[in-house]
Structure 1
Amino acid sequence: MQSIVLLLWLALCAEQDVRERQIANTLTLGVGLCALIFLFVTGHTWIGSDAEEAGWALAFVILLTIPGYMLGQFGAGDVKLLAALALATDRQYLLGTIIGSGVALVLWLLSRRWLWSLLSQKVKNRLKAWGDESSKKQPFAPFLLAGFLLASVWIH
């Protein structure tokens, strides 16, 4: 059940990232705060891992994303999203999500023209910012959603 809530949250973040090329603080910081409060009240994460696991996952997020953020490769929303995910899950989910998102990104880059041709015009209009190849910045939240799905299937 907890994974479904995280999937819905990631889907909202992904949809907003595709449309607006940013993720609202209410989505990232709000869930991060809820996960932190839940962690302090119960002593475990939303998925049932120990608080120590959430701490290690958060440390990994900081180590892995802050250099990318400073170099302009990650947006602030992506960093906050991953930090909230770390507080809600554990190292295994987090690293699985990051690895899975990398796989999804590579698959997208290799097949985006073909996949884009399969979409209806209505969907293309809604996602036109994502199909814009002139932009250097790809929205990353959809790939994090795919990575979390892959990690969830792999872990369970």
Structure 2
Amino acid sequence: MQSIVLLIWLTLCAAQDARQRHIANGLTLGAGALALAFLLWTGTTWLGAPAEQGGWAALLAAAFTLPGYALRRLGGADVKLMIALGLATDGRHVLGVFIGAGVASLCWLLLAPRVWLHIGQGLRGRLLYLQPGMSKKQPFAPFLLVGLLLTFVWLR
């Protein structure tokens, strides 16, 4: 059940990022605050890991994303999203999501020019910022969603 809640939350973030190249603070900071409150209240993360692992996962997420933010390759929402994910999961999930997102991003960069023309016009309009060549800075949350799905498959 907890995994489904994380998937729904990250799907909402990914959809907003793909449509607007922006994720609302309510989705990132709100989820982070809820994950932190749950962590402090129960002593475990949302997925059941000890609180220490959630704290280390949040630090690991910051270590992975802050350099990308400093180099202007990631947005602030991506950093907040990953830290919230760290507070809700553990280090294995954060590492898996980040690696899975990197692989998914690379696959998209290689395959998108061929696939984009075969996607329906309505869907292309909704995923405008994922269009190949649209921007040097692609929305990252959709790839994080793929990374989370791959991580759930790999860790289960």
Give the TM-score band, short-chain normalised: over 0.9
**How far off is 1:126 after superposition?**
1.6
Q: Give the count of matched residue pairs.
A: 156
- CA–CA distance in 2 between the matches of 1:72 and 1:134? 16
Map of 1:56 onto structure 2: 56
Q: What are the superposed Cα offsets for residues 44-95 of structure 1, whole Å, 9 maximum, x if unpaired?
A: 0010000010011011112221122111111000000000000000000010
**How far off is 1:132 after superposition?**
5.1
Map of 2:111 onto structure 1: 111
Map of 1:66 onto structure 2: 66
**How far off is 1:113 after superposition?**
1.8
- CA–CA distance in 2 between the matches of 1:83 and 1:66? 10
Map of 1:97 onto structure 2: 97
| Structure 2 residues without counterparts, runs of 5 or longer | none
Conserved 8 A contact 2:62-2:82: no
**Letter aligned with residue 23 of structure 1:** I
- TM value normalised by structure 1: 0.96
Map of 1:152 onto structure 2: 152
Map of 1:4 onto structure 2: 4
RMSD over aligned CA atoms reads 1.0
- CA–CA distance in 2 between the matches of 1:140 and 1:77? 9
Q: In the alignment, is residue 88 of structure 1 matched against residue 80 of structure 2?
A: no
- CA–CA distance in 2 between the matches of 1:143 and 1:132? 14
Map of 1:129 onto structure 2: 129
Map of 1:29 onto structure 2: 29
Map of 1:76 onto structure 2: 76
**Which ranges of 4 or more aligned residues in structure 1 deviate by more than 6 Å?**
none
Q: What are the superposed Cα offsets for residues 84-123 of structure 1, whole Å, 9 maximum, x if unpaired?
A: 0000000000100000001101111110022212211111
**Letter aligned with residue 100 of structure 2:** G
Conserved 8 A contact 2:112-2:132: no
| Structure 1 residues without counterparts, runs of 5 or longer | none
Map of 1:120 onto structure 2: 120
% identical aligned pairs: 54
Q: Which moved more, 1:65-74 or 1:28-37?
A: 65-74
Q: Which moved more, 1:139-148 or 1:127-136?
A: 127-136
Find the residue that maps to 1:4 and give its secondary structure: helix
Find the residue that maps to 1:46 and give its secondary structure: coil
